[in-house]
Structure 1
Amino acid sequence: MVIALPARSEQNSSPDPLLASQIVDRYAEHIFYGTAATGMAMVAIDGNQRVFTSFGDTRPGNNVRPQKDSLIRIASISKLLTSELLLKLAEDGRLRLDDPLSKFAPPGSNVPTYAGQPIRLINLATHTSGLPREQPGGKPVRPVFVWPTRAERWDWLQTARLTTPPGVSASYSNLAYDLLGDALVRASGMTYPNLLSSKITRPLGMKDTTFTPSPDQCARLMVPEKGASPCVNTLAAIGSGGIYSTPDDIARWMQQFLASDVHQRSPQADRLQTLIYSRNQLTKLEGMDVPGKADALGMGWVYMQPKNGRPGIIQKTGGGGGFITYMAMVPQYNVGVFVVLTRSPLSRFTTMSDGVNNLVTELVGNRAD
């Protein structure tokens, strides 16, 4: 079942520029101090305005504020770019969303089924595959986004068993998204970095978005007080969370969903944010309620219905290597916010996501008459 987001506003009202930036700065300061973050950067888009603000340190105690080109881990927001590649390859005729994963498996590999029902690409993209959140095993202490490798996950899949049919329940799965990334590589005949570059990052001018950061980029990587992980290649986690980027690059990516006088909303944006399952269609929904109740699922995106004066918000969370990320949008009002923070021992996700949800709500309400 496909569920439509509310219709986009026909008028692109432009709030007072100073007032909009004041709103963003006020909430950003509240979020930073409320989360006890080491450092934080935020980008907010509101119609014709794009606001960047930051607080704290790029490294503990260095007194250097995060910049637009500070390197960050976007963590599971990587999944949104994976689902974008899935849709673009479908539009190119390289695959179908309902293709079985087995069609793109390495030669001789087995993909589990449930009573003959296969795992389809759309199941991987909507967390309805029946696969676990993480592949079992691995070292308990290791850098983030370096395990399992492609070979290791396909080796594990040979003996894996599904305990629920695909498409019946939703349970968050990083493993599913890395297998989806592998399938996109097979379908396209390209390496994943080249595919990402050709379809997304190069056209949008996202020059710092990568899996293999250079020494210069690593020198710009924000470092948390808690959970820091080395600046190494993260090609093992191509689909689930391995992308390094910058606030400026992510603003460029986010802009394609939001119209202004100088930016057109991408013709693909509605398809990218299509909602596939409502919550009441699923027997279970796990792992996607942290920033608020998940009422519907898209391809990576999660939708929260309007509630208690808050508009409907389409959002995605992320975290890993001491980073916490969150993106929330109300596309019909051309409002979107991305925030990244580096953790201290006191940092909590919901303090950040509640603040962003409230910020988005106030920006939507800040319309010119």
Structure 2
Amino acid sequence: MSARITIAALVCLALAVVSGPATEFSMPTGAEISQFLQDAVEKEKRAPGIVAGIIGEKGTQVIACGTLKGGGSEKVDGDTIFEIGSITKVFTTLLLQDMVERGEVKLDDPIGKFLPASVKTPTRNGKEITLYHLATHTSGLPRLAFGTWYMIWHIDDPYAPFKVKDFYKFLSGYKLPRDVGAEFEYSNAGMALLGHLLSLKAGTNYETLVVQRICKPLGMDSTCITLSAEQKKRFAAGHDESGDPVKNWSPSDFPADGELRSSANDLLKFLAANMELMPSGLSSAMRATRLPREPTDDPSEKVGLGWMIKTNFNVVWHDGATQGYVSYIAFNPAERRGIVVLANSQNNIDDIGETLAGVRKLRKVAQVNHEIYSRYTGKYRLNDKKLFTVSRKGDRLFTQLTGQGKFEVFPESETEFFCKDFDAQLTFLTNGSGLATEVILHQSGKDRRMKKVK
């Protein structure tokens, strides 16, 4: 659900299955979290800097490792500002629910109610897209309002050149592929449009609306789009997967799907309000945004207004990514504990977020002789149409299912490996010579055996 630029979400290695029941969660200790972040920064080189924030009924804790920029000396901390990408979306949907409760809009208002008469809005079988459909990703609008060639042409700064007139032209010409409300499809375009419509209704710009109605009431003075001179000094530099610095994208006409910037300390205040650990006039609206409302493409999850809900864990979450930054925020409203993780690199940190949120086991990379990886390389039969390929590149091991991208796996022991991109593990079964004959995929509470075919 993360990157604004990502065309497709990660696809699990196996067929979709319902996750098993949640097990009792024990938060990793401060020392374990510190080591977790240190390994990610110093050993795995995932980001120059990572900050994790934890909040519960006993208070807050911030653990940080690394620097504001690669090769720099200034350390990241709880006040360091990062781009938070698609976490912006839950601010947008909170604005929506707040405006509903103020009587300014209704969830079932059609989008055409707020647009100029000259804009033709997509309909299908007589049904119109509403604000609710935009907030729950059920509008039928695509992930992006522009196509692949546009993205290639504007790859260094894809959103700023796409103006209001371009979006209106897209809307007027778009043909919905299915009935409105029929199916979940994660849509940056839909959420960007929602923020635009709310801004039109309020008679102000999106950033002002967020700051005035959410940030100021909650004391969040480091959350915005346009940074002050003082905030720029605390702003972490973005980096690509290889650790090279990247240029920040320019502000666009449609910021509501992913342009906010924030700090761990500010997002801990946001979590405190969502968990009702602090008094807030937004409490009622916040409760409404996290109600499970529609099924998603993951059987173990539902979508609220913006928030994703892991129903078997009772964890409400969202992640984010822009060019140079990744983020993760989650909380358990019943247990009143929440976490946030921010990093200044495009490398995935969802495993850190999910581990701290209690939906993934803390796994540690074991020190093994990488030469054993050659014993496991080859192709394994998943079914009649798909092969599971294991390959080695130097001291790294990769897996790939037919038709999907490669994912790196990491050793827990000489025969057990785990994936950091999503929650899946592998166990290799070997013969007397130590060569793999089968691999077992452990995912979503299921075990799937695959025999080696070549």
TM above 0.5, yes or no, is: yes
Alpha-carbon contact 1:132-1:171 (below 8 Å) kept = yes
Moved over 6 A (4+): 359-362
After TM superposition, list the pairs within 5 Å mapping 1:114-125 onto structure 2. Answer: 114-125=124-135
What is the rounded CA distance, in whole Å, between the counterparts of 1:331 and 1:97 in structure 2?
A: 23
Identity of aligned residues (%): 23
Structure 1 residues 75 and 201 mapped into 2: Cα distance closer, same or farther (>3 Å)? same
3-state DSSP class of the match of 1:236?
Answer: coil
After TM superposition, list the pairs within 5 Å mapping 1:48-67 onto structure 2. Answer: 48-67=58-77
1:304-363 deviation line (CA, Å, top 9, x unaligned): 132xxxx3211101111211111111111110001011226xx3344334433448889x
Say whether 1:340 aligns with 2:342: yes
Structure 1 residues 301 and 34 mapped into 2: Cα distance closer, same or farther (>3 Å)? farther
Could you tell me which residue of structure 2 aligns to residue 11 of structure 1? Answer: none
Could you tell me which residue of structure 1 aligns to residue 181 of structure 2? Answer: 167
Shift in Å at residue 252 of structure 1?
Answer: 1.4
What is the rounded CA distance, in whole Å, between the counterparts of 1:143 and 1:250 in structure 2?
A: 26
Could you tell me which residue of structure 1 aligns to residue 314 of structure 2? Answer: 312
What is the rounded CA distance, in whole Å, between the counterparts of 1:294 and 1:216 in structure 2?
A: 43
What is the rounded CA distance, in whole Å, between the counterparts of 2:330 and 2:254 in structure 1?
A: 23
Could you tell me which residue of structure 1 aligns to residue 17 of structure 2? Answer: none
Shift in Å at residue 216 of structure 1?
Answer: 3.5
Structure 1 residues 85 and 336 mapped into 2: Cα distance closer, same or farther (>3 Å)? same
Q: With a CA cutoff of 8 Å and minimum separation of 6, indicate the structure with the bigger relative contact order.
A: 1
Say whether 1:330 aligns with 2:320: no
What is the rounded CA distance, in whole Å, between the counterparts of 1:236 and 1:147 in structure 2?
A: 9
What is the rounded CA distance, in whole Å, between the counterparts of 2:252 and 2:239 in structure 1?
A: 25
Could you tell me which residue of structure 1 aligns to residue 254 of structure 2? Answer: 237
After TM superposition, list the pairs within 5 Å mapping 1:134-153 onto structure 2. Answer: 134-137=144-147, 138=150, 139-143=153-157, 145-153=159-167
Shift in Å at residue 231 of structure 1?
Answer: 4.5
3-state DSSP class of the match of 1:201?
Answer: helix
Q: Which amino acid aligns with 1:92?
A: R
Q: Which amino acid aligns with 2:155?
A: V
Shift in Å at residue 119 of structure 1?
Answer: 0.7
Q: Which amino acid aligns with 2:342?
A: V
Alpha-carbon contact 2:57-2:336 (below 8 Å) kept = yes
Could you tell me which residue of structure 2 aligns to residue 282 of structure 1? Answer: none
Given candidates 274, 279, 286, the residue that maps to 1:257 is: 274
Shift in Å at residue 244 of structure 1?
Answer: 1.4
Could you tell me which residue of structure 2 aligns to residue 200 of structure 1? Answer: 214
Say whether 1:300 aligns with 2:309: no
Larger Rg: 2
What is the rounded CA distance, in whole Å, between the counterparts of 1:46 and 1:359 in structure 2?
A: 17
What is the rounded CA distance, in whole Å, between the counterparts of 2:35 and 2:158 in structure 1?
A: 33
Say whether 1:188 aligns with 2:202: yes
What is the rounded CA distance, in whole Å, between the counterparts of 1:267 and 1:112 in structure 2?
A: 32
What stretches of structure 1 of length at least 5 have no aligned partner?
1-14, 280-284, 363-369
Structure 1 residues 210 and 274 mapped into 2: Cα distance closer, same or farther (>3 Å)? same
Q: Which amino acid aligns with 2:80?
A: S
Q: Which amino acid aligns with 1:336?
A: G
Given candidates 261, 284, 308, the residue that maps to 1:267 is: 284
What is the rounded CA distance, in whole Å, between the counterparts of 2:261 and 2:195 in structure 1?
A: 16
Q: How many residues align?
A: 328
Could you tell me which residue of structure 2 aligns to residue 9 of structure 1? Answer: none
What is the rounded CA distance, in whole Å, between the counterparts of 2:105 and 2:111 in structure 1?
A: 11
1:247-273 deviation line (CA, Å, top 9, x unaligned): 22211111102244x657933332121
Q: Which region of structure 1 is more displaced relative to structure 2, 31-40 or 327-336?
A: 31-40
3-state DSSP class of the match of 1:317?
Answer: strand
Say whether 1:77 aligns with 2:93: no
Alpha-carbon contact 2:34-2:65 (below 8 Å) kept = no
Q: Which amino acid aligns with 1:217?
A: Q
Shift in Å at residue 133 of structure 1?
Answer: 0.3
Q: Which amino acid aligns with 1:55?
A: C
Alpha-carbon contact 2:314-2:333 (below 8 Å) kept = no
Could you tell me which residue of structure 2 aligns to residue 25 of structure 1? Answer: 34
What is the rounded CA distance, in whole Å, between the counterparts of 1:166 and 1:125 in structure 2?
A: 13
3-state DSSP class of the match of 1:133?
Answer: coil
Alpha-carbon contact 2:354-2:360 (below 8 Å) kept = no
Alpha-carbon contact 2:317-2:329 (below 8 Å) kept = yes
What is the rounded CA distance, in whole Å, between the counterparts of 2:30 and 2:74 in structure 1?
A: 22
Q: Which amino acid aligns with 1:171?
A: E
Shift in Å at residue 21 of structure 1?
Answer: 3.9
1:287-310 deviation line (CA, Å, top 9, x unaligned): xx6xxx65211111111132xxxx
Shift in Å at residue 24 of structure 1?
Answer: 4.3
Alpha-carbon contact 1:329-1:360 (below 8 Å) kept = no
What is the rounded CA distance, in whole Å, between the counterparts of 2:144 and 2:342 in structure 1?
A: 23
3-state DSSP class of the match of 2:155?
Answer: coil
Task: Return the TM-score normalized by structure 1.
Answer: 0.80
Could you tell me which residue of structure 2 aligns to residue 94 of structure 1? Answer: 104
Q: Which amino acid aligns with 2:356?
A: V
Shift in Å at residue 131 of structure 1?
Answer: 0.6
Alpha-carbon contact 1:147-1:237 (below 8 Å) kept = no
Q: Which amino acid aligns with 1:200?
A: I
1:79-137 deviation line (CA, Å, top 9, x unaligned): 00000000011111111001111111123111110111111111101111111101124
3-state DSSP class of the match of 1:179?
Answer: helix
Give the helix-richer structure, 1 or 2: 1
Could you tell me which residue of structure 1 aligns to residue 234 of structure 2? Answer: 220
